[in-house]
Amino acid sequence: MSGLLVVTAVPAEAEAVRAGLTDPSVTVRPVGVGPAVAAAATARLLALAEAAGRPYRAVVSAGIAGGFVDRVAVGGTVLADRSVAADLGAESPTGFIPVEELGMAPELLGVGRTVAADPTLLVALRAALPAATVGTVLTVGTVTGTAESTAILAGRHPDAVAEAMEGYGVAVAAALADVPFAELRTISNPIGPRDRDAWRMRDAFAALTTAAAALR
């Protein structure tokens, strides 16, 4: 059996994770941006490892993210207790309608719009990262970039602490392969109106390197 698989979106995130690793059995792979490519690439990596007789023990979606103001600080670390496909549904004159209320059935695959982190894996990561904020991490196909959409999203998900673009996709691949899953993020910017000058990418990557020591 292989060790832990860590999936990131881009090479810079993978490099930050590798820089902090202390366990040589951890495999880090950048797979691309967005839930679809993350799901497909993770599923392929898990299937290839299983076919080779060396299945992974667990998979972690890791990288940087936007954080909700007053819920997590920029530069902070987040552990997801669950990963949610925040925009999987439909708009309507009365507001957002989640996919499960549209008569569709993602649960037929055993996976709904929300995938909980593996409890044992989450406990281990919380013990290793006691200062991390724990809460829901949203997966979106389009990064939130206005005050209005931020307020709507925060209202729909009062327990959400961050948003990223891959966690739910990785979670679905892991769930269908029956592999434990967790999501680890460090915060590079506040969610809201797009302001590149306010982003602290260097701090987020440094925090990711520090947090990577917990991945073992």
Own/partner pairs, 104-112, CB within 8 angstroms, 24+ separation: 109/172, 109/176, 110/175, 110/176, 111/171, 111/172, 111/175, 111/176
Q: Is pLDDT above 80 for 5? A: yes
- Average pLDDT over every residue of 63-83: 96
- The hierarchical CATH code for the domain 4-214 is 3.40.50.1580
Q: Is pLDDT above 80 for 201? A: yes
Per-residue model confidence (pLDDT) at position 107 = 54
- Which is it for strands 181-190 and 77-85: parallel, antiparallel or unpaired? antiparallel
DSSP tally for the chain: helices H, then strands E: 6, 10
Per-residue model confidence (pLDDT) at position 132 = 97
Q: Is pLDDT above 60 for 110? A: no
Mean predicted lDDT score pLDDT of the chain: 91
- Average pLDDT over every residue of 19-24: 94
The tokens 């990785």 sit on which residue?
A: 170
Per-residue model confidence (pLDDT) at position 101 = 67
Which of the two residues, 163 and 198, has the higher pLDDT score? 163
**CA 24 to the chain's CA centroid:** 23
Rounded CA-CA distance 1/4 in Å is 10
Q: Is pLDDT above 50 for 28? A: yes
Q: Is pLDDT above 50 for 190? A: yes
pTM above 0.75, yes or no: yes
Q: Is pLDDT above 50 for 108? A: no
Q: Is pLDDT above 80 for 97? A: no
Whole-number percent of the chain with pLDDT over 70: 93
Per-residue model confidence (pLDDT) at position 195 = 80
Local confidence band at 96 (pLDDT 50, 70, 90 cut-offs): confident
